[in-house]
């Protein structure tokens, strides 16, 4: 037996369905899936139900039997809605086997087994005919195959195939249509996620400027979508240069073409400025009249009272290949190009209008290597002047003309900083992991190609000859590694430091000298929904789904923390932040485990949804950099998080509610860092 599992291809960004042996550990996939979030999305569910009822009625009014095709049925929800609305029969297709199994159970529990047939296949494998999966073609097509970018989960090829082989001509589709909207903006904050800004360094011998390689200037970047909770982006962080424009629509009731194409709109900027970013979102009309509309429009476009929080559909940030000055009232053309799975944008001045051949650009391919190495938050982090300043301040204290420096971090600018700060004699070695080409381009843009020696070896394989038989006097790291998912994965620095111990001088300075793990109990405004059981959804019992998620969460003996960029997910602190573990980089990684136990008092009333954990790096005795909490901004406990990093969130299996301040309670914890596996296990009791 085989199980199908969906994966995003890291190179193309497209969705792949891979066959895995049945013992494949799909629990992780279920535990972290977005099904719960979708089931909590009231606005979506209500509108789907309305749209489905209307479609069934239209078919019935024509005197036809209502035969539904539900592609990607998940829990079976939309098919159950159709059956309740009077559909005669539903074919519910689900490619992910564990989900298809759950759908069978849910459909049975809700009493629809005679009306709904669950088919565990990819829709393109489904057959129609007397001996086929479906007896006949359907006349109602219901799907929910959309991601934040609309088409990223393969909706277009799926629709294209369904219209050719699985549904009748003139079928009703729910949703009936999707429309993609765009707005042109200038935003230093968002632009800093895509380009590296010059870095100004105050050195002993005057100010120096570190510049990015010129290839980065016009580099179109990578096609993977940048999806964020745009509603958390304060209006002071961007300037809108255009009105909201309709970019393109797709009518799902007619044959759909998935082949690459372009759409173009004329814009008249409402303001002069630098066009850098295209913000984009979509809406879906559940019926042909457009009366049942479900929109992802951000807060400045629609009244906040109408905002439905959801994490499975957000908004997109697209970066133009280069920034383009625009003048108020002076028309420009914005082109959206798409292939089967992704969308990208290009802006053209009116005078280039004739040049249509040039318009349908190819999918962006990063030429400067930086976009392959650094993701968007990492660009933001490298552009964070405050952070850079902390490193400069600290490096300045330790570097001198005799320094022999080794830098251990992925795609780091530290060696360049070291060089700017130190006198010419500084010997600088950099251990590169995945960042060779990008690092080299960077060094050469700053005329340092022969000043910094790149070592392409695993730390444990380094020999004295790699360091020209010198001992390292300064070992630096940010630390940052692109393979890190959870905050403590960057402790790889400690392991690499341990592996190079024999090359360090006896009085070596290690920067950062240590790290600490911090923890705080929080109440989330919304994020709790993604891991919270749903029970009944629009009158249908979906508890079997909740149980499956719970099983998957319990599957590993220890529950795991998961990474989330908390600047996008407001929460308030219920306890003081607490330092729970420290890691001394001046020493090697110990053989024994590091563990701690204790309790934190809850100081505010609220619902304890979970614990947030993050790392702080202590560059020296008085300089620290936090990758988590920046500050608690008011007496209500609202938290401000480092906007460039993901924090670890450990959701409690049950929520405690402290109503009164007199007895707010406490949370006890046990946290263990296994130095053998590098894993952190944790347990909390409320």
**Cβ 33 to ligand SAH shortest distance, Å:** 8
Write out the E strands in 350-486: 404-408, 427-431, 452-455, 472-476
Rounded CA separation 71/78 (Å): 10
Stretch that binds ligand SAH, among 69-77, 172-180, 320-328, 475-483 (CB under 6 A): 69-77
Q: Given candidates 56, 69, 77, 486, which one binds ligand SAH under the rule CB under 6 A?
A: 77
Site membership for ligand SAH, residue 175 (CB under 6 A): no
DSSP for 563-612, please give it: EE-GGGS-EEESS--EEEEEEETTSPPPSS-EEEEEEEE--S-EEEEEEE
Query: Distance between CA 326 and CA 448 in Å, rounded?
Result: 36
- Residue 95 is a binding residue for ligand SAH (CB under 6 A): yes
Residue partners of 468: CB distance under 8 A and separation at least 6:
427
DSSP of 248-310 = EEEETTS----S-EEEEEEE--SS-EEEEEEEEEEEEESSTTS-SEEE---TTTS-GGG----
Q: Which of 31, 68, 99, 405 binds ligand SAH (CB under 6 A)?
A: 99
Shortest reach from residue 144's CB to ligand SAH, in Å = 4
β-pair type (472-476, 404-408): parallel
Q: Which stretch binds ligand SAH (CB under 6 A): 73-81, 386-394, 494-502, 658-666?
A: 73-81
Q: Is 110 among the residues that bind ligand SAH (CB under 6 A)?
A: no
Residue number with CB closer to ligand SAH (33 or 335): 33
Candidates 52, 71, 406, 448; binder of ligand SAH (CB under 6 A) is 71
Nearest alpha carbon to residue 456 among 480, 475, 437, 484:
437
Does residue 618 touch ligand SAH according to CB under 6 A?
no
**Which CB, 154 or 637, lies closer to ligand SAH?**
154
> Considering the rule CB under 6 A, would residue 38 count as an interface residue with ligand SAH?
yes
Question: Looking at 20, 64, 125, 144, which residue is catalytic?
Answer: 144
Task: With residue 79 as reference, give the H or E element that holds it.
Answer: helix 77-84
Binders of ligand SAH among residues 489 to 548 (CB under 6 A) are none
352-371 positions binding ligand SAH, by CB under 6 A: none
Residue nearer to ligand SAH on the CB measure, 100 or 520: 100
Indicate whether 94 belongs to the interface with ligand SAH (CB under 6 A): yes
- Which of 153, 381, 478, 562 is catalytic? The answer is 153
What string of DSSP letters covers 13-26?
A: --EEEEEEETT---
Kindly state whether residue 144 participates in binding ligand SAH, applying the rule CB under 6 A. Answer: yes
If one asks whether residue 145 binds ligand SAH (CB under 6 A), the answer comes out as: yes
d(CA 425, CA 428): 9
Q: Does 159 bind ligand SAH (CB under 6 A)?
A: no
H-helix or E-strand containing 436? helix 436-445
| Catalytic-residue membership of 323 | no
In three-state secondary structure terms, 397 is helix
Residue closer to ligand SAH, measured from CB, 40 or 466 = 40
Which residue has the closest beta carbon to ligand SAH?
A: 72
Taking CB under 6 A as the binding criterion, the range among 65-73, 182-190, 364-372, 407-415 that sits at the site for ligand SAH is 65-73
- Residue 144 annotated to the active site: yes
475 and 500 Cβ atoms separated by less than 8 Å: yes
Per the CB < 8 A criterion, the answer to whether 315 and 228 are in contact is: yes
Query: Furthest-apart CA pair in the chain: how many Å?
Result: 90
Q: How far is CA 514 from CA 411, 460, 587, in A?
A: 21, 21, 9
- Name the minimum Å distance from CB 120 to ligand SAH: 9
List contacts with ligand SAH (CB under 6 A).
Answer: 38, 71-75, 77-78, 93-96, 99, 122-123, 144-145, 154, 158
Catalytic residues: 144, 153
């Amino acid at each position: 037996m085989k199980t199908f599992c969906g994966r995003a291809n890291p190179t193309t960004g497209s969705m792949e369905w891979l066959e895995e042996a049945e013992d494949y550990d799909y629990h992780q996939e279920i535990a972290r899936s977005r099904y719960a979030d979708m089931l909590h999305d009231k606005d979506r569910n209500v509108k789907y139900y309305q749209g489905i009822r209307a479609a069934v009625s239209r078919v019935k009014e024509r005197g036809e039997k209502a035969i539904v095709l539900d592609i990607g049925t998940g829990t079976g929800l939309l098919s159950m809605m159709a059956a309740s609305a009077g559909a005669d029969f539903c074919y519910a297709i689900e490619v992910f086997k564990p989900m298809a199994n759950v759908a069978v159970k849910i459909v049975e529990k809700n009493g629809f087994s005679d009306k709904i047939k669950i088919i565990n296949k990819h829709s393109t494998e489904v057959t129609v005919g007397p001996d086929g999966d479906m007896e006949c073609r359907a006349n109602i097509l219901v799907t929910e195959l959309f991601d934040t970018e609309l088409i990223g989960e393969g909706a277009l090829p799926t629709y294209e195939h369904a219209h050719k082989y699985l549904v009748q001509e003139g079928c009703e589709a729910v949703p009936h249509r999707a429309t993609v909207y765009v707005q042109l903006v200038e935003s230093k904050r968002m632009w800093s996620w895509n380009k590296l800004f010059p870095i100004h360094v105050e050195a002993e011998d005057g100010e120096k400027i570190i510049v990015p390689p010129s290839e980065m200037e016009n580099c179109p970047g990578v096609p993977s979508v940048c999806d964020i909770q745009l509603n958390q982006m304060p209006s002071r962080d961007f300037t809108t240069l255009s009105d909201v424009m309709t970019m393109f629509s797709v009518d799902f009731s007619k044959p759909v073409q998935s082949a690459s194409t372009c759409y173009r709109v004329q814009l008249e900027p409402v303001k002069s400025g630098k066009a850098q970013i295209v913000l984009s979102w979509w809406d879906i009309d559940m019926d042909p009249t457009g009366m049942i509309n479900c929109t992802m429009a951000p807060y400045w476009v629609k009244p906040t009272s109408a905002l439905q929080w959801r994490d499975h559909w957000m908004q997109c940030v697209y970066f133009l290949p280069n920034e383009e000055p625009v003048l108020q009232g002076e028309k420009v053309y914005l082109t959206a190009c798409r292939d089967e799975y992704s969308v990208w944008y290009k802006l053209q001045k009116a005078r280039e209008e004739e040049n249509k051949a040039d318009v349908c650009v190819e999918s962006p391919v990063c030429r400067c290597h930086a976009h392959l190495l650094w993701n968007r938050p990492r660009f933001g982090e490298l552009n964070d002047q405050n952070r850079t300043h902390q490193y400069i301040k600290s490096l300045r204290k330790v570097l001198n003309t005799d320094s022999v420096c080794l830098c251990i971090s992925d795609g780091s600018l530290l060696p360049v900083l070291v060089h700017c700060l130190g006198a010419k004699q500084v010997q600088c070695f950099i251990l590169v992991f995945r960042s060779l080409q990008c690092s080299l381009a960077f060094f050469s843009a700053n005329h340092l190609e022969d000043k910094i020696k790149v070592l392409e070896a695993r730390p444990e394989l380094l020999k004295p000859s790699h360091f020209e038989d010198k001992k390292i006097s300064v070992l630096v790291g940010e630390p940052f590694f692109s393979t890190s998912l959870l905050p403590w994965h960057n402790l790889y620095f400690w392991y690499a430091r341990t592996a190079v111990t024999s090359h360090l001088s006896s009085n070596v300075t290690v920067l950062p000298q240590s790290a600490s793990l911090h923890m705080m109990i929080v109440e989330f405004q919304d994020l709790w929904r993604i891991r919270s059981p749903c029970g009944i959804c629009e009158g249908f019992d979906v508890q079997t789904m909740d149980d499956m998620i719970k099983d998957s969460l319990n599957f590993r003996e220890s529950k795991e923390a998961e990474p989330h960029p908390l600047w996008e997910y407001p929460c308030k602190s219920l306890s003081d932040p607490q330092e729970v573990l420290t890691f001394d980089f001046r020493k090697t990684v110990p053989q024994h485990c590091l563990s701690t136990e204790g309790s934190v008092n809850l100081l505010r009333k609220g619902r304890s949804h979970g614990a947030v954990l993050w790392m702080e790096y202590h560059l020296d005795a008085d300089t620290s950099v936090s990758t988590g909490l920046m500050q608690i901004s008011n007496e209500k406990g609202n938290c401000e998080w480092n906007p460039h990093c993901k924090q670890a969130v450990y959701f409690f299996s049950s929520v405690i509610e402290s109503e009164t301040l007199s007895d707010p309670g406490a949370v006890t914890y046990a946290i263990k860092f296994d130095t053998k596996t590098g894993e952190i296990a944790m347990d909390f009791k409320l």
